[in-house]
Amino acid sequence: MYDLIVLGGGPAGLAAACRAWQEGVRRILLVERDDALGGILNQCIHNGFGLHRFSEELTGPEYAGRYIRMLGQTGVEVRLATMALQILPGQDGAPHEVHTLSPTHGYEVLQTRAIVLAMGCRERTRGAIALPGERPAGIFTAGAAQRYLNIEGYLVGRRVVILGSGDIGLIMARRMTLEGAKVLACVEVMPYSGGLTRNIVQCLQDYDIPLYLSHTVTDIKGHDRLEQVTVSQVDANRRPIPGTEMVFDCDTLLLSVGLIPENELTRQAGIEMDRRTHGAVVSEAMQTSVPGIFACGNVLHVHDLVDYVSAESERAGAAAAAYLQGNPSASLPSLRLDNGAGIAYTVPQRLHPGIGEAQVFFRVNRVTGPAAVVAENDAGETSRFRRLRFAPGEMERITLPANLVATAKEHITLRLEEGSV
Amino acid sequence: MYDVILIGCGVVGAATAYQLARYDLKVAVLEAQNDVANGTTKANSAILHAGYDPEPGTRMAALNVEGNKMAKELCRKLDVPFRPVGSLLLALSEAQKTTLQTLYVRGLANGVPGLALLDREATLAMEPGLNPELTGALYAPTAAIVNPWEYALAMAETAVVNGVELHRRCPVTGIRPLPEGGFALQTPRGEWQTRFVVNAAGVNADKVHTLLEPVPWKITPNRGSYFLLDKAEGSRVGHVIFQCPGPNGKGVLVAPTVHGNLLVGPDAQPVEDRRDLGTPASALDFVRTQARRSVPGIDFSQNIRNFAGIRANSDQEDFIIQPSPAYPAFLDLAGIKSPGLTAAPAIGKRAVELLAEAGLVCRPKAQFIAERHVVRMDRLSPAEKNVQIARDPRYGRVICRCETVTEGEIVAALHSPIPALSINGVKRRCNAGMGRCQGGFCGPRVQEIIARELGIDQTAVPMDQDGSWVLAGETKTGREVTGDV
């Protein structure tokens, strides 16, 4: 019997496990399906990690290394090459079950008082966006190409078009260029990029790679290996405009068209989900609708910065410790954080009124100039958070004042207000 | 000198090889590609039709019903996923009820068991997610779903286990009749001499026959595009849902798959290029719109893959199952359009009868290995899983996380009677990469295992057919391998 099982040994799981140990939890098991800890950070060999968390610029493996060393100083038990197949929540305070499969321990049913879900996310594929055309080799998700390049040491192609301007795609535009490939274009269906501004500058502009906004891939040619893609401009409804076709002769198409939290275990366990984040609904303590089951990192919502993943996951680890040490909250609190105009989602989605100030992550659903996010509760209290610019590609973090939280009755609504700044 | 050479190892070639393997004969199958079941067999509706569609008295009608009857036992013996889910053919207007009536009568004439005409209420009670405006349905309990490529693979493997030779990457480029009878087949791997030839070359059957003599029929390839949706949509319907057939085929269907996904499609598009498996936006739009007429609630945002298959249609109404009049030892199994997958095992039997009529002496083998077994971890109980892992720990290492496929299963596919030679070959044998991430995570790992097990360089492992290279080269050696696969 464990006190805590952490599912996933990437940045979220590492931070949650370390923090729970620091808070005094002792029987902790961390389950990782890969052969090494660190998760996707292991293939992110570029720098830019850790500016918030460690106040210095690290590569992905360096950032992971810091947490792996921290974990090494704890007594957390780690099981690698172990796949969690199923979670069965315990009823009425009974322990939860985690079913796992591994070469060393076979099929096992583990019992635990608490669980932190930290399974991360996966990339959206060609199928998810129903990309038309033929299906030759040479079409990769950006992350798969990154793994081939940075872990296995193989280049996947030499003339490249990138669809989607998510951060991994942008990073790969630079990476493939540095390895001698020619990146012909980065194509984005939306009128704005989905990636961080710093990546647009450092990975595309610095290498003269054109970014085609409001464009998409409308045809793919090649029986065996990719030979050609057609790119068309799209209208306001994202419909291709006939006559705007551009043809690129290329052998590789990388897809950077979004990430999806990997929540099959979560759904199977009957945990309440948020259809906007594709993750669980959680309280400010990162607790899901099942008492004793917490979620953090990209399995909860997709982050831009690993630093925020760590911060959020440390909160989950601390909350799991508090839960185990006798402060269990029965279920999700009733105070809701609602999305008003311009807000795509918030995490957490629920708050306990008595918690004092509350840190909230959110994303907007359009690009703005100077604007404010207004938080208003149903007692008429408001708070305003100004920025020079909002964009869906940049996750925002605000702290709601204690008074706004304490006086709310049923809900607090976040909304985007333009032009009033 | 071979007794029989089969050209093509799709489901029809495989079924014929499986039947021939029972007899004391020297048989070879020549397959142009690097894998079996890699044409029409791998990309179709994965349905075993009940048999009410074909005109009574045709070969198609008889072989459909017979093939359907053979399937259950065959799948049990060969360990092929099979589910007898039944089908509902919907009438979406009063006029279409006449079509149901016609097909019901036709089905009775063809000997289809268990057919029933249902009214609106009975239909919706069986399948609540259907369009409530439907007016009735024809229920066919013997319709089933199957894993089509494994169906073919299992028959081909069993043939190989029983002594039939399979030669892949062996396209036939010339056929010459021999003066003493029989034929000489030219291939890039030399000349093959045989007394009998079976032409099961699918979409290329007319081209193959033309190597010997002009043919009075031709293949009219017709492409169908599909959506394969995530398992989250897999229980959207419990039966195969058909719409009334039109001049372009059986129409867009919605069906569960044996893997637990939802299959939606196809359209029907004549194509010139028999290798153009593209799914144009217009085809996908058509399928989406049509499918919603049967099952309005389908969530297409759960799509994980589109694919297309080329129907081996011909300009003949019926299947072309006949010896050449000029060369009775040359047997065509051609124009095997829908319901070809269903009919295949019966076509295989019929082929042996026709060869025997043409003079092939078929003496049963003393020992015929009739059973095949595949380890699939997701079907084992926890205790059985542990027995398997104790025997070989690789069965505890999950490589494909979406479909929970282990290294042990992948290694087994690479050392099976017909080893996989490509990433998609592994996918077809054990499901790795079939799931929602489409190989995003496991693709590189599968490729590494293939290279290791087959003793080849990782850069030489293709995605599918030869030429579908995945890696352009190593980054640190400066070695270029682009296009060498």
pLDDT score of B483 more than 60: no
Residue B485's pLDDT band (cuts 50, 70, 90) = very low
- Residue A3 has which token pair? 């006190």
Task: Check CB contact under 8 Å for B396 and A155.
Answer: no
> Which of these, B51, B219, B271, lies nearest to B144 by C-alpha position?
B51
> Which domains, from first to last, does chain A contain?
2-122+260-332 (3.50.50.60), 125-257 (3.50.50.60), 338-418 (2.60.40)
B131-149 confidence digits (pLDDT tens): 999 999 999 999 999 999 9
ipTM: 0.94
Task: Check CB contact under 8 Å for B470 and A137.
Answer: yes
What gap in Å lies between CA B220 and CA B312, rounded to an integer? 7
For residue B288, what is the DSSP state? H
What gap in Å lies between CA B33 and CA B204, rounded to an integer? 12
Out of A125, A133, A153, whose CB is closest to B279?
A: A133
pLDDT attached to residue A319:
95
Residue B125, C-beta contacts closer than 8 angstroms, at least 6 positions apart: none
A143-185 confidence digits (pLDDT tens): 999 999 999 999 999 999 999 998 999 999 999 999 999 999 9
B231-269 confidence digits (pLDDT tens): 999 999 999 999 998 766 678 999 999 999 999 999 999
- Residue B56 has which token pair? 């009574």
> Which domains, from first to last, does chain B contain?
1-81+144-218+312-373 (3.50.50.60), 82-143+220-309 (3.30.9.10), 377-460 (1.10.10)
A306-365 confidence digits (pLDDT tens): 999 999 999 999 999 999 998 666 678 989 999 999 999 999 999 988 889 999 999 999
Count how many pairs of residues, chain A against chain B, have C-beta atoms within 8 Å: 158
Q: Give the three-state DSSP class for A295.
A: strand
Task: Check CB contact under 8 Å for A132 and B382.
Answer: no
> Which of these, B330, B361, B372, B371, lies nearest to B20 by C-alpha position?
B361
- For B321, half-sphere exposure in the C-beta direction (CA atoms, 13 angstrom radius) is 25
Residue B5, C-beta contacts closer than 8 angstroms, at least 6 positions apart: B27, B28, B29, B30, B183, B185, B192, B194, B196, B197, B198
| Residue B207 burial (10 A CB sphere; 0-12, 13-18, 19+) | middle
Give B391's contacts in chain A (Cβ within 8 Å).
none
pLDDT score of B61 more than 70: yes
Interchain contact B367–A (C-beta under 8 A): no
Residue B208, C-beta contacts closer than 8 angstroms, at least 6 positions apart: B7, B8, B172, B175, B199, B201
Helix B148-161, helix B59-78: angle, nearest 10: 70
> Which of these, B239, B46, B229, lies nearest to B151 by C-alpha position?
B46
- For A217, half-sphere exposure in the C-beta direction (CA atoms, 13 angstrom radius) is 31
Q: Which residue type, as a one-letter code, is found at position A148? A: Y
Q: Which residue type, as a one-letter code, is found at position A222? A: G
A6-19 confidence digits (pLDDT tens): 999 999 999 999 99
Residue A413, C-beta contacts closer than 8 angstroms, at least 6 positions apart: A337, A338, A339, A340, A375, A376, A377
Residue A371's pLDDT band (cuts 50, 70, 90) = very high
Asked whether B202 and B48 are in contact (CB, 8 A), the reply is no
pLDDT score of A385 more than 70: yes
Handedness of CA A56, A58, A62, A65 (dihedral sign): positive
Residue B462's pLDDT band (cuts 50, 70, 90) = very high
Give B472's contacts in chain A (Cβ within 8 Å).
154-158, 181, 251
Residue B481's pLDDT band (cuts 50, 70, 90) = low
What gap in Å lies between CA B449 and CA B400, rounded to an integer? 12
Residue B295's pLDDT band (cuts 50, 70, 90) = very high
Q: What phi and psi values does residue B406 have, to the nearest 5 degrees?
A: -95, 165
pTM of the model: 0.95
A129-146 confidence digits (pLDDT tens): 999 999 999 999 999 999
Mean pLDDT of chain A: 95
Give B280's contacts in chain A (Cβ within 8 Å).
132-133, 219
Out of A33, A126, A225, whose CB is closest to B469?
A: A225
> Which of these, A20, A22, A14, lies nearest to A112 by C-alpha position?
A20
For residue A193, what is the DSSP state? -
pLDDT attached to residue B484:
47
Catalytic residues of B: 49
Task: Check CB contact under 8 Å for B469 and A123.
Answer: no
